[in-house]
Amino acid sequence: MTELLGAPGAVPAPATAPVAERAPRELLRLATAGSVDDGKSTLIGRILHDTDSLPLDHLDSVRDAEGVPDLAALSDGLRAEREQGITIDVAYRFFSTPKRNFVLADTPGHERYTRNMFTGASNAHVAVLLVDARAGVLRQTRRHARIATLLGVPHLVAAVNKMDLVGFDRARFEEVAAQLHDVAERLGGVELLVVPIAAKHGDNVVHRSANTPWYDGPTLMEHLESVEVTPPDHGVGGLRLPVQWVSRPEAGPDGRQQRRRYTGRMAAGTLAVGDEVLVLPAGSRSRVTALDTLDAQRQVAIPPLSVSVALADDIDVGRGDLLVSPADTPPAARELVTSICWMSERPLRVGDRVALKHTSRTVRAIVQRLHDRLDPETLDTSADPAELALNDIGTVTLRTSAVVLADPYARNRETGAFILIDETSNDTVGAGTVLEARDAATVAAAAADAVWHPSAVSREQRAAATGQRGGTLWLTGLPAGPAATVATALERALLAAGRLAYVVDAPAVRHGLLQDLGDGPGDGIERTRRVADLARLFADAGAVAVAGAAGSPSTARALHAAAGLPCAVVDLSGERTGTAVGEHAADVHVHAGAGSAEEVAERVLAALAGHPLLEAPARD
């Protein structure tokens, strides 16, 4: 391997012990960043070579016709990467020195593959920003620096590469270093070390170079070996365990039925047998009775362990739920203020709908506001942009169809990050971090501050003109299909009787008001609320709203009672022995299984005779 060290100024250090003989050390995760052709893959190849981290057969496989290894090919694993001479995918490499173990992510520099840079840098401790000494700081250099800060990478190192091609000129290095420090200043005063290197020959990578006597800072590897990595403090912050999978119970060796197990990867806090946990968003509580990993039973677990948990109670827990400490809960957010990197050729605009995947939970989201957009040339932000284009970074407020249990990214990288998915193509179109999670109560309170302006036409005036008063028929007790059939029959019967009526159930409005909702429990609650509110508006206008298969009547009753409007709940199951009382109880019970939908509608209207809903207004 000495032919690679015969570079203009690389001074070889004493040989180190083979990787297999080195004792386990602290782990450092680092990612390369920078524009295309700045030499990221070559730098990684040099590091692997000079730290004796390459098997000889691997090194021999990338030698050219003259027997000199192609360093970039050591990390460019895809055939297309080698043919095009650029990095496309994220390549991970593992190596060690006597002081540390390293996981290194080689990320692509081309703008087309910015999403892969996001992947590689998402859990890095250090980002190594490569800059070509000839070209200086470019647009993609600034973008990658911003992404690194967006992802909260604690340390940023700039390696001014290809110094051999500018004659190791000190003035040129200082000029590029000034550009880099300006970038760091614009990104909020990020701490930055700038190192002059020539990755092809090894200058100042692992070994100090004789070609830069004017540089008295550390080599790149000296810095990586000494940079402080703050270990996670698992005692700070409460438990966060996203449930990824539910293991169904099976009979144990003794024939007794086992309890369900809930599996996932620890995202924060500690979890021990005997701990009380809160299951969100349902709010159920239980206690941990058993805690396992793949290879052993445990009494205590900390991140990033993947664990299997047994609870003392048979409660409803599923994929997408979050186990937390009762004393430290995340907000049940319906609005997220986020920083997003947009990765689709189709621009992101206000009103666009996407799927938001957060930990193991996926909900629908709508873009409420684009606050700003970062200019990668100047690193300045422009307020209220019309759209975010491919690779743009901006601050965006998202409104979700169901609660998202998120922490700010600055507090927790796992529960503060998400991706955006195109629901049609299933492509990942964006990635982002949570700046602020606004809980549902806060969002509702903000909405309540808006002043309701009643119509200038009173209900009495409408009733005098139409000869009827408005109200809502809320149908329960049947599946969606049969309920919709009865609702339509009721609409026809009311119209035949001279009363204006309209079906406003979930199936009727799912392509409009409900199109951003999914099938989760939170979506069902929101679906019912929206249909109830829509029915109230129809009733206020003087029509009879007919809602079939729209969910629990409690929300509709409360909304109508507050507005002084009648709401009749009809149980079509015909069962009078249920336990529903108060706001959940039906006004009338009709057995829908006997007769046609039209006959059922007639029986419903007959049963409601005398109900305020069907009373005619008094005329002068």
Q: What is the 3-state secondary structure (H, E, C) of 576-619?
A: CCCCCCHHHCCCEECCCCCCCHHHHHHHHHHHCCCCHHHCCCCC
Which residue's structure tokens are 């249990």?
405
pLDDT, greater one: 614 or 138? 138
Which residue's structure tokens are 């590029």?
176
Residue 450 maps to a domain: no
389: DSSP letter: -
pLDDT at 70: 58
Residues 379, 265, single domain; the answer is no
Q: What is the 3-state secondary structure (H, E, C) of 59-74?
A: HHHCECCCCCECHHHH
* pLDDT digits 0-9 by tens, 496-530: 988 889 988 766 677 677 766 666 555 677 788 88
What's phi and psi for 252, nearest 5 deg? -80, 180
Residues 41, 140, single domain; the answer is yes
Give the residue-averaged pLDDT of 460-471: 81
Residue 454 maps to a domain: no
Q: Which of 45-49, 88-92, 412-416 has the lowest mean pLDDT?
A: 88-92
Tokens for 29, please give them: 């995760």
Residues 8, 130, single domain; the answer is yes
Residues 150, 212, single domain; the answer is yes
pLDDT at 233: 57
Residues 174, 307, single domain; the answer is no
Residue 316 maps to a domain: yes
* pLDDT digits 0-9 by tens, 158-213: 999 999 999 999 999 999 999 999 999 988 878 899 999 999 899 999 999 999 99
Which of 277, 306, 324 is where one domain is finished? 324
CATH number at 605 reads: 3.40.50.300
Residue 250 maps to a domain: no
Which of 273, 290, 324 is where one domain is finished? 324
pLDDT, greater one: 57 or 343? 343
Sign of CA dihedral 314, 318, 324, 329: negative
At residue 264, does pLDDT exceed 50? Answer: yes
410, 152 Cβ separation under 8 angstroms: yes
Residues 538, 430, single domain; the answer is no
Give the residue-averaged pLDDT of 561-572: 87
H-state helical runs in 72-213? 79-84, 114-121, 139-150, 170-186
Residues 488, 601, single domain; the answer is yes
As a whole number of angstroms, the distance between CA 550 and CA 460 comes to 29
Residue 403 maps to a domain: yes
Confidence band for 36, pLDDT divided at 50, 70 and 90:
confident
The CA-CA-CA angle for residues 465, 509, 473, to 5°, reads: 50
pLDDT, greater one: 196 or 600? 196
Domain count, the chain: 4
As a whole number of angstroms, the distance between CA 349 and CA 517 comes to 19
Residues 292, 369, single domain; the answer is no
165: DSSP letter: G
CATH number at 307 reads: 2.40.30.10
505, 549 Cβ separation under 8 angstroms: yes
As a whole number of angstroms, the distance between CA 158 and CA 194 comes to 5
pLDDT at 430: 92
Q: Comparing C-alpha atoms, which of 188, 180, 193 is closest to residue 227?
A: 193
Residues 481, 560, single domain; the answer is yes
Sign of CA dihedral 417, 423, 428, 431: negative
Residue 452 maps to a domain: no
Residue 453 maps to a domain: no
Residues 170, 206, single domain; the answer is yes
Residues 133, 151, single domain; the answer is yes
Residues 135, 186, single domain; the answer is yes
Percent helix, strand, coil in the chain, to 5, is: 25, 30, 45
At residue 10, does pLDDT exceed 50? Answer: no
What's the mean pLDDT when you consider all of the chain? 81
As a whole number of angstroms, the distance between CA 246 and CA 260 comes to 7
Residue 455 maps to a domain: no
Domain that holds residue 406: 332-439
